[in-house]
Structure formats: structure tokens, C-alpha cells
Amino acid sequence: MPLDFIDNKQLPTYDAQKISITIFFQDEPLKNPLRSSPITDHDKTKSNLENRLGFALVLASAIVWSFGGALKHFIATGESWTIVFWRSVWAALFLLMFMLVREGRHGTLKLFSNMGLPGICVAISFAIASICFIVALAHTTVANILLMQAGVPLIAALILWILFRERVTFPTWIAIVFVIMGVAVMVSDSFTGKVSPVGDALSVLIAFAFACATVITRRYAQVRMVPAVCLGTVMAACVSGVFVSTFIVTLPDMGILIVFGSLNLGFGLALFATGARLVPSALTALLGTTETVLGPIWMWLIHDEIPTIRTMLGGIIVLTALLSHISWSIYCQKSIIVNKTPS
């Protein structure tokens, strides 16, 4: 597939007959001057195709990420900092190549220079989450980590209300309360000695870091996520490189680390960054819960890691609250669309 076909930055005309489906690789939705006219069947078809494509890409990213815990358990080395370093290096290389192929050398440099402070903050948030994920796997179960991450959208809503006084609806408050209850049930295993409190604390920090990245991205929508997360992987590599005791790993471990970094982390991020803007945010969050559901299943099937009763109970509470809230959001969005559609 020609590279100029993959990323059409400027179309020579707004003729709806000539608009390619490859519009999904643009950074911003195309402004259609025909939008003031009645919506045609072609417009509806194009919109449906974009939604289906975005749905497939976001779902694929969640499935790719869900194998992270299982892949880590195949690595023989017990040095967490070594794993963080090599995983981050391979992810950074993959994301850099992804941008070079799409944007070219000058375009890639421009992306990094245009990130500004918001992009750096997103990078820092992602670096913290990436480091804590690997370290947490040495102290707690994959199920604990992923189930706590399921509450990221609601944590982000809470942060927006505290810092920016953005209105939070009553159903969202109810969902936030239940998410806190679910996390509390999962964390209670730490007090029984079954799960390390360090692992639970890192899991909460991961969820908080992702929530901060979500808030920053929402407040500064013009920031491109791919260069930001690429910078985050570079930061994670630099931090882990300071604490690592050895950079040497076995050849089989390096093979797994290449897959762990470039495909599981880097490719997953590329899929998500490309597809997330094509579907509603509520649906994006709903598709993201696929990782939460599949991750513990892979660990159970591949490594025979069975979550504790409290982890499963707390996870059910979190997922029920999240899915209920997302379903309500989708219903409200559809109601607004129906009400605005001329008869």
C-alpha cells in the first residue's frame, strides 16, 4: 500500500465522491462544507465505515494489550528494571518507525516540536504507568492490576471535577462510588497478606497515571498522542537504565522482550491512537474493558494464575459500575442524536 495513500494530509477537493476511506489516518476530522446540506446516503455510508474501522482498531488494541501479563511471565529474568528498559526501548523504536513511515523525517520532528508542555505531561504519565506495570507484576496478580485500570474513565471524570470544576452528572457520581468500593474490596487482600500492598499501591498509581493522561488529552485535544507516548517510552527507558543492575539477558528473553515491547506495547498504542478518534469516547472506554476481561483469562489458561475471591468480587463491582455507566452514556448520546435529527 503506498505511503501517501495511508496518510492523506490534504485532499485537493471536497468532492464527496473522491473522499477515500483512508481519512481515518488524518489527525483531525475532515471539515465537510457539504454538511450544511441534507445528509446523503454516501455520507452515512462513509460514517458507518469509519465507525466500524475505529471499532475494529480500538478492539484490536485492547486484545493486543491483554497479552501483556502473560508475556511477562515467559521472561526468565527476575530483574524488573531490565524488563522495563528493554520493553521501553523496543516500544520506542517501533513507535518512532511508525511515525517515520507515516510522516517522514521532517514531519516526525515537527510532531515532537509541537507537543509542548501538554505532550510532555502525557509522556510523563505514560512513563510512570509503564514502569509501575512491570514492577507491580512482581508483587501482585495481573487480575488486580487490570481490574483497577478498569476504573480509569471514572477516575478521570473525578479529576476533571476537582481541578477544573467540569460538571459531573449524578449517574457518574454513583459509578465513581461503586468503583471506589470495588477497588477497596480488591485492596483488602493486602491486609490479609495474600497480596502485597506494594503491588496494590502500584496498581492504583497506574490507574491514576492513565487517568491524568486522559484528562490532559481531553483538555488539549490538539496534542498528538503517538509522539507523546513515544517520548514516554524513552523516559521509561532512561529511568530504568539508571536503576538496572544488568542489561544482559538471554537470547530467548530478548526475543520475548522484542514482542513484549514492539508488538504488545508499541503496536497496541499505534492501533489505539489511530482508531480511538473514530468512535465515541464512551464506546472507546467500553472496548477498553476487553483488556480487563481477557488479561486474567490468559493468565489462568496459560500460567494457571487464579485470582483471589476478593479480587474477583471487587473486579465484578468495578466492571458492573463501569459498563453500566458507559451504557447509560451511549444511550444519552443516541437520544441527543435522535432529537437533533430533522424529521
What is the average pLDDT across 224-237? 90
pLDDT reported for residue 189? 67
Confidence of residue 33 (pLDDT cuts 50, 70, 90): very low
CA distance 235 to 232: 5
Rounded to 5°, the CA angle 283-199-127 comes to 60
**The cell 492513565 sits on which residue?**
210
CA distance 62 to 127: 19
Q: Where are the domains of the chain?
A: 47-340
Query: 129 and 148 in contact (C-beta within 8 Å)?
Result: no
Percent of the chain with pLDDT over 90: 23
User: Is the pLDDT at 241 greater than 80, yes or no?
Assistant: yes
Give, as one character, the DSSP assignment of residue 138. Answer: T
**The cell 446516503 sits on which residue?**
41
Give 153's Cβ-side CA count (13 Å radius): 21
Specify the higher pLDDT residue, 73 or 13: 73
E strand segments, the chain:
none
The number of helices, as runs of H, and strands, as runs of E, in the chain is 15, 0
Task: Return left, alpha or beta for 116; rule: phi > 0 is left, psi -120 to 50 is alpha, else beta.
Answer: left
Element of type H or E holding 215: helix 197-219
Query: 269 and 228 in contact (C-beta within 8 Å)?
Result: no
Rounded to 5°, the CA angle 112-116-119 comes to 75
Rounded to 5°, the CA angle 282-52-324 comes to 25
Give the lowest-confidence range in 33-47, 171-185, 215-229, 300-314.
33-47
How many beta carbons lie within 10 A of that of residue 259, not counting itself? 16
Specify the higher pLDDT residue, 287 or 17: 287
What is the average pLDDT across 9-37? 40
CA distance 328 to 155: 17
Buried-exposed string 98-121: b where 16+ CB fall within 10 A, e elsewhere: bbeebbeeeebeebeeebeebbbb
Specify the higher pLDDT residue, 343 or 211: 211
Cell of 185: 474490596
- H helix runs in 276-308, sequence order: 281-303
Q: What is the pLDDT of residues 66-102, one digit of tens each?
A: 999 899 889 998 888 999 999 999 999 999 999 999 8
| Listed ranges 85-89, 131-135, 153-157, 165-169; the one with the highest mean pLDDT | 85-89
CA distances from residue 271 to 160, 254, 266 in whole angstroms, order as listed: 26, 24, 9
pLDDT reported for residue 332? 77
How many beta carbons lie within 10 A of that of residue 250, not counting itself? 11
**Residues, the chain, total?**
343
pLDDT reported for residue 337? 59
CA distance 343 to 340: 9
Confidence of residue 230 (pLDDT cuts 50, 70, 90): very high
Q: What is the pLDDT of residues 275-314, one digit of tens each?
A: 776 776 556 666 777 787 788 888 888 988 877 788 788 8
Give SS3 for 269.
helix
User: Is the pLDDT at 242 greater than 80, yes or no?
Assistant: yes
Confidence of residue 14 (pLDDT cuts 50, 70, 90): very low
